[in-house]
């Protein structure tokens, strides 16, 4: 106890206050609010499971939940494949490679709003860069990527993959650089092709990294408020609304705090089970690798 009894608590005090006031407290409070009817102006009324019942019978909610699932199952593999591709591409000692790494990382640091604006412009019907390029290539009747309910959600997924690939590149790169060179040398002596190297050396040795990246990508796919807000505002007709955006709409546009809190709790359950799966898997891996 070289630091005494009081000092440690003073050092962690700001973090404890933050944890209690802005993390643990709000999680518990959100759960309680989800059983009430509350528009902020009048005081909350307890109404039991009514919000959850409304949620279950709401067609829009199921649609939003389906959108969220579609977003996750397309975004996660998409961004992982792109990230791995970039990581393999920049995992060399070529001159100027740090420049390219930095370049590929640029969209990650840029605000989602600015990216939303520029992509809205590129995809904009008739005058946007992409429809113009497609027209010149002879493709007429280019759909409105953001205005058509069939394409809006997937367009958001593609833009988000474009933005986040650099982030996953860095994570994969760290994993790749941990693989000892000898494995590759041994496989090459046995006459392995580049594809075989990837399939039988890189990917198996990268499996823990890959799992961990999948968890990160999954969590990211649930936090799409900025992107949705900046590009489609959930439209057209809720076609691109996801859980995080829909929670915002109910809480801060309709001011239905109780109902929104029940959605936030569904989001919490999803993230909570992913976190638990992560903890469990790590324990399992640690014990098998030892």
8 A C-beta contact, residue 209 and residue 172: yes
Size of the site for other proteins (CB under 8 A): 92
Pairwise CA distance, residues 66 & 73, whole Å:
11
Site membership for other proteins, residue 249 (CB under 8 A): no
Binding piece for other proteins, criterion CB under 8 A, among 51-59, 63-71, 148-156, 218-226: 218-226
Q: Is 139 in the site for other proteins (CB under 8 A)?
A: no
Closer to other proteins by Cβ: residue 204 or 272: 272
The site map against other proteins for 195-214 (x = CB under 8 A) is -----------------x--
Q: What are the tokens at 187? A: 């496989």
Q: Which residues, numbered 27-56, are part of the site for other proteins (CB under 8 A)?
A: 27, 29-30, 33, 40
Through-space distance between the first and last CA atoms of the chain, rounded to whole angstroms: 32
Interacting residues of 35 by C-beta distance below 8 A, sequence separation 6+:
46, 47, 48, 49, 51, 258
Which of 8, 77, 194, 204 lies at the binding interface for other proteins (CB under 8 A)? Answer: 8
Closest CB 50 distance from other proteins, rounded Å: 17
Q: Burial level of 215, CB count in 10 A (0-12/13-18/19+)?
A: middle
- Based on the shown chain and the rule CB under 8 A, indicate whether residue 65 belongs to the binding site for other proteins: no
Q: Which of residues 259-278 bind other proteins (CB under 8 A)?
A: 260-261, 264-265, 267-268, 271-272, 274-275
| CB atoms closer than 10 angstroms to residue 258 | 23
């Amino acid at each position: 106890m070289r630091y005494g009894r009081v000092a440690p608590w003073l050092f962690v005090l700001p973090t404890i206050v933050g944890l209690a006031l802005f993390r643990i407290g709000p999680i518990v409070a959100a759960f309680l609010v989800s059983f009430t009817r509350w528009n902020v102006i009048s005081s909350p009324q307890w109404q039991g499971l009514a919000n959850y019942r409304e949620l279950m019978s709401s067609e829009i909610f199921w649609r939003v939940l389906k959108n969220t699932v579609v977003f996750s199952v397309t975004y996660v593999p998409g961004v992982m494949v792109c990230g791995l591709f970039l990581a393999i591409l920049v995992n060399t000692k070529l001159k100027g490679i740090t420049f390219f790494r930095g370049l590929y990382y640029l969209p990650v640091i840029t605000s989602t709003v600015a990216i939303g604006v520029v992509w809205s412009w590129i995809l904009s019907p008739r005058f946007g860069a992409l429809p113009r390029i497609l027209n010149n290539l002879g493709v007429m009747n280019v759909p409105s990527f953001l205005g058509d309910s069939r394409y809006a959600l997937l367009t958001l997924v593609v833009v988000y993959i474009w933005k986040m690939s650099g982030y996953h590149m860095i994570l994969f790169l760290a994993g790749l650089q941990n693989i000892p060179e000898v494995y590759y040398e041994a496989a090459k002596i046995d006459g392995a092709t580049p594809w075989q190297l990837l399939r039988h050396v890189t990917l198996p040795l990268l499996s823990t990294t890959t799992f961990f990246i999948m968890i990160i990508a999954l969590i990211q796919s649930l936090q799409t408020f900025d992107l949705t807000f900046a590009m489609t505002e959930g439209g057209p007709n809720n076609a691109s609304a996801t859980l995080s955006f829909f929670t915002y709409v109910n809480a801060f546009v309709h001011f239905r705090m109780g109902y929104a809190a029940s959605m936030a709790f569904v989001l919490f359950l999803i993230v909570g089970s992913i976190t638990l799966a992560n903890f469990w898997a790590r324990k399992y891996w640690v014990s098998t690798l030892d």
